[in-house]
Structure 1
Amino acid sequence: MTRENWGTRVGFILAAIGSAVGLGNIWRFPGVAYENGGGAFMVPYLVALVTAGIPLLIMEFTIGRKYKGSAPVAFRRLNKNAEVIGWWQVAISIVIAVYYAAIIAWAGWYAFFALDQRWGDDPEAFLFVDFLQAGDMYDFGTWLPGLGTVMIVIWAATLLVIGLGVKKGIELTAKIAIPLLAVMFGVLVVQALTLEGAEVGLNAFFRPDWELIWSTPSVWLAAYGQIFFSLSVGFGIMVTYASYLKKKSDITTSALTVGFANSSFELLAGIGVFSVLGFMAVQSGTAVEDQVSAGIGLAFVAFPAIISTLPTLPGLFGVLFFGSLVIAGWTSLISIVQVPVAAFEDRFGWSRGLSTAILGGLMAVVSIGLLPTVNGIMLLDVSDEFINKYGIAVAALVSIVAVVWVAWKWKELRDNANATSTFRVGPIWVVFLGVITPIMLTVILFYNIRDLLTADPSDPEDPQATYNLYQSFGWSVALGAVAFGIIMALILRRRDVPEIPSEEEEAIREEVGQ
């Protein structure tokens, strides 16, 4: 089966940026930075990017390009016993795709609601009572047709792009969507900077608390955690995307470009968000810290309240903000769905159309059936918590240990990356990737598990209380992904993968533009 290539290096980089820049960049980073030293947080954040994020990106880009396959195929070619890691990552992507589409649908509806600020004077009640009709975790009941209809559109658009292929679908979409996202969010930030009180918010955001970052280890853990969870590493996306690279592609420069572009967008998001929070603080006569929130609360409660008080063009501001969430989320969803589609396409020899129809169709049916319901937000929240903190983090840790220390492939990967890259990596890359990154992931996991197990389920002030209460469901999601990986690897253990195309075959394909 002939494997597609990216049409241009720019197309690959834009697609990778589109995957990395997602909802978390806009609604998670500003709050994390503010709570962990403000402007001083940029020190551990950049250290984490250089010592963990970019080294891991280089590893995944190199694995994908060298072994020319989706995650299961690439890891199988690296070592026969490593295929389980690839399927584990496929399972993680499936879980995330199922609930991620729902958040994009929320943002789509809120872009429409912003035109007349339909959320009224109580955005929190509007979100949970009127819009989502939120119920108990196990209250499988009412299906919400408005939300479900938008999710159908999102899934149809996603599967259409993936079905068209890498060059005509994913790359073309990225070339349109990422510049559009940059323009929309840029206009949003400029508008935010003109608000009265914007400087108050920016002072709060950038004011450095140097004592905090040198005296509190949790700040450094937060920095590494933000990098791990914002670069789309650890669950097969970057391996899959890099598998469509040409043999002479520059690996390290691409990783640096994607890593710093992602971080630049996060910084821009922080500037925009805190300019608006500063405005709200001045208008309400409160401190900026009283306005700070993160996640769903920031995007769908705090920002609607702020939009309603804007002196000029509140509808435009709302459309730009929620429209940016839709684009950022959709480009990420495309990359997430591509992981299982490519895996079954490569491993079972299915056509692109068949793999998209079967795998994508099944994910869409589950997503549309489960998430637009009264318990959808609880299913989403608990699944996201466990699959991120105990799925992606552990999968990334296992993949690093397996590649660097068990299979001892770091020399091959380093030489492969250096052979075609302008910026060459040396021994320090191995130290960052094989020592610092696993240590930080292990420490983060330890603290996450400790906080979860010690949380009091009856204490509404404890942020981990809900997750402690619904541990059985959360662990079943995280461990189910591992089980899926093991089962698929065992089923396919005796089924060999095709040989990697020779350099001569690759050269011919590249010359004819395939």
Structure 2
Amino acid sequence: MSEHLQWDSALSFIFAMIGAAVGLGNIWRFSYVLYSNGGGSFFIPYFCAIAIMGIPFLILEYGIGFSFKDSFSKILNKIDKRFEYVAWMLVLFAFIVTIYYLVILSWDMVYFLSSFTFSWGSDTIGFFTNTVGGGSDFANAGVLLIYTTICVVLLWIALWFISHKDVDEGIGRVSKILIPALFIMMAIIVVYAITLPGHMIGIDALLRPNWKMLLDINIWLAACGQIIFSLSMGQAIALTYASYLPENSRLTDNVLVVVAANSFFEIFTAFGVFSILGFMALHSGMAMSKLVSEGTSLVFVVFPMIFNIMGPVGRVLAPLFFLAILFAGITSALGFFEPMLSSTSSKFNFSRSKTATILSIIGCCFSILLTTGISSYLIGIIDTFVNQFGILLLIAVQCVIFAWFYNLDNIIPILNEHGHLKVGKTWKFIIKYLLPILIFAIWIYGIYDLFMSSALFEIIVDVIIIVGVLVSSIVLTRIKPKNNEN
């Protein structure tokens, strides 16, 4: 790369990392995982997963990125030239996440704009299926959801505008605005939610512990899975962002700040989500179990239904809610985009601006292909496969590469130099033995579940993705770049 990239301060890095970690999953996934995996008792495996997986692996990523100060693909190439294939596979998977993530954000953007007039009406399921996210009817595969398409293009323009600038002027500056704004908006929503009649119905349902479930291995695997994706572990985001850190950075301290902020946000948000669901349960007489759902159904079907019955307050809460999701999503999308941007720019000696432009055009074209009448069905397939197969496997492979093919003793002094949290033999044991075993176990479990429940069309989509990623990673590894920037 022709320019040296660096955050102007640790604060820019921390806000960017919090932005990458705090995303859609914190708002619509965590509360469901908590509710369906033992309620209050789930916090035991949750915090164990943070201590055993989240913190140790993020420390590793920070240490590697900070030590090499290079792109992910070049770092793995320096460890062993053969590992560059692995690097490109991971950043390509992260780029695919960016592509469909912006489509989901475009749904939210449509809802944000609709929230001023409540144009979703009383049939919230029909509005989502017919206007925003489509369904699983292949007869609608050729129909373009025009509002979603327009919002996708606008979001890609926004992503390009932020990413084509130097990291501090773009990602750093935007994160320092959006993350405080996000926390303030979510605080307003949650504080109001816990004043609603029936809020304790929701909170009780959320936190009621089921201690027997702690004996179920699936609960522990669910906690590990939540931490992996909540903290964006092993997706080259933390490693890439850490490579831009200035000297004398407190690496381990930064890890603790980011992990604490991420956990606080998703736990705090869960109280708000379930308080609102409790209000709906009281108002409608429906059981909590019938209202609780994961992901798009909760946010784009159940919540608009609730805002409809809230009266004037719903008119304020709805735009605030969808705007908060938009802010959380944009900062996460910047994180998913950065590893591909950094690695491509570094490999081909392109300027950051040129690389961002090329990748944004490519990404936008693919995103538009996902805005048809089967948008939500297709994205569900891609999301499940990319996360359960691709990213999880490559996180485990990274563990093996960094622990067994790179001398961890090289980065321990760097990690311990300025941080208050010191690492040593216990940390090395976790990285070398415990983490690879745990992540491979989660991967095997996920793959079994994935292929046992997949229809033929879903398997075809999965095969197309893996072939595309493998071929692209081979091409990107073997191609010889020009020495001078074009």
TM-score, normalised relative to structure 1? 0.90
Q: Aligned runs of 1:422-461 on 2, under 5 Å?
A: 422-455=420-453
Contact 2:253–2:419 (CA under 8 A) maintained in structure 1: yes
Could you say which residue in structure 2 is the equivalent of 1:83?
Answer: 84
Identity %: 34
* Structure 2 equivalent of residue 509 of structure 1: none
Separation in 1, partners of 2:449, 2:314: 40
Partner of 2:202: 201
Question: Matches of 1:338 and 1:239 in 2, distance apart?
Answer: 10
Does 1:385 pair with 2:384?
Answer: yes
Decide which moves more: 327-336 or 422-431. 422-431
| TM-superposed deviation, 1:296 | 0.8
Q: Is the 8 A contact 1:64 1:240 kept in 2?
A: yes
Name the SS for the 1:313 alignment partner: helix
Aligned 1:62-101 pairs, distance under 5 A:
62-101=63-102
Match of 1:398 in 2: 397
Q: In structure 2, what is the Cα distance between the partners aligned to 1:221 and 1:137?
A: 34
Q: Match of 2:344, as an amino acid? A: F
Answer whether contact 1:137 1:378 (CA < 8 A) is retained: no
In structure 2, the residue matched to 1:247 is 247
> Residues of 1 paired with 2:146 and 2:457: CA distance?
29
Q: Report what 1:331 is aligned to.
A: 331
Residues 447-500 of structure 1 deviation map (CA, whole Å, 9 limit, x = unaligned): 222223333xxxxxxxxx55x6511212331453244323322335x9999xxx
Paired with 1:189 and 1:393, the residues of 2 have a C-alpha distance of 32
Contact 1:386-1:475 at 8 Å conserved across structures: no
- The equivalences for 1:264-279 within 5 A come to 264-279=264-279
* AA matched with 1:365: C
| Change in CA separation of 1:150 and 1:39 when aligned onto 2, cut-off 3 Å | same
Larger deviation: 136-145 or 59-68? 136-145
- 2:42 maps to what in 1? 41
Cross-structure match for 2:262: 262
Deviations 1:212-242 (A, max 9, x none): 11x2110000000000111112222111111
**Which stretch of the first structure deviates more once superposed, 479-488 or 55-64?**
479-488
Whether 1:172 and 2:162 are equivalent positions in the alignment is: no
Q: Does 1:474 align with 2:462?
A: yes
Note if contact 2:100-2:370 (Cα within 8 Å) is conserved in structure 1.
yes
Amino acid at match of 1:293: S
* Partner amino acid, structure 1, of 2:463: W
Mapped pair 1:293 → 2:293: yes
Q: Which amino acid aligns with 1:204?
A: A
Instruction: Report if aligned partners of 2:67, 2:243 keep a CA contact under 8 Å in 1.
Output: yes
Q: Is the 8 A contact 1:97 1:333 kept in 2?
A: yes
Tell me which residue corresponds to 1:302: 302
Counterparts in 2 of 1:395 and 1:199: CA distance versus 1, 3 Å: same
- Structure 1: runs of 5+ lacking an equivalent: 456-464, 498-514
Question: Aligned-pair distance for 1:130?
Answer: 3.6
**Paired AA for residue 439 in structure 1:** I
Aligned letter for 1:341? L
Residue among 400, 413, 416 paired with 1:415: 413
What's 1:55 paired with?
56
Which residue number corresponds to residue 340 of structure 1? 340
Aligned-partner Cα distance in 2 for 1:140–1:302: 25
Residue 20 of structure 1 contacts residue 262 of structure 1 at CA under 8 Å; is this kept in 2? yes
In structure 2, what is the equivalent of residue 131 of structure 1?
A: 132
Does the 8 Å CA contact 1:137/1:379 hold for their aligned counterparts? no
User: Distance in 1 between the 2:63 and 2:205 partners?
Assistant: 40
Aligned-residue offset at 1:291: 1.4
Conservation of the 8 A alpha-carbon contact between 2:111 and 2:322: yes
SS of 2:55 mapped into structure 1: helix
Counterpart mapping for 1:109-188 below 5 A: 109-136=110-137, 140-188=141-189
Q: Distance in 2 between matches of 1:53 and 1:204?
A: 27
Please report how far the alpha carbon of residue 312 of structure 1 lies from its aligned counterpart in structure 2 after TM superposition.
4.1
In the TM superposition, residue 140 of structure 1 has moved relative to its aligned partner by 4.2
**How far apart in 1 are the matches of 2:316 and 2:388?**
36
| Post-superposition offset of 1:133 | 4.1
Q: Which amino acid aligns with 1:450?
A: Y
Cα contact 1:401–1:434 (8 A) shared by 2: yes
Unaligned runs of 5+ in 2: none
- Kindly report the root-mean-square deviation, in angstroms, between the aligned alpha carbons of the 2 structures: 2.0
CA distance in 1, matches of 2:170, 2:19: 13
- Identify which range, 423-432 or 474-483, moves more after superposition: 474-483
**Could you tell me which amino acid in structure 2 is paired with residue 428 of structure 1?**
T
Whole-angstrom CA distance in 2 between matches of 1:229 and 1:86: 18
Bigger drift between 371-380 and 479-488 goes to 479-488
Judged with a 3 Å threshold, the aligned counterparts in structure 2 of structure 1 residues 388 and 424 are, in CA distance, closer, same or farther, namely same
Q: Alpha carbons of 1:410 and 1:472: their partners in 2 closer, same or farther (altered >3 Å)?
A: same
Q: 2:91 touches 2:339 (CA, 8 Å); kept in 1?
A: yes
d(CA) in 1 for partners of 2:216, 2:245: 42
Q: Following the alignment from structure 2 to structure 1, what is the Cα–Cα distance between the partners of residues 177 and 302? A: 30
* Residue type of the alignment partner of 2:288: V
Pair 335,408 (structure 1): closer, same or farther in 2 beyond 3 Å: closer
**Partner Cα distance (1:148, 1:125) in 2:** 18
Matched residue pairs, number?
A: 483
| Cα drift, residue 71 of structure 1 | 1.0
Q: CA deviation at 1:333?
A: 0.9
Deviation, 1:137, is 5.5
On the 8 A contact 1:67/1:77 being kept in 2, the answer is: no
SS of residue matched to 1:194: coil
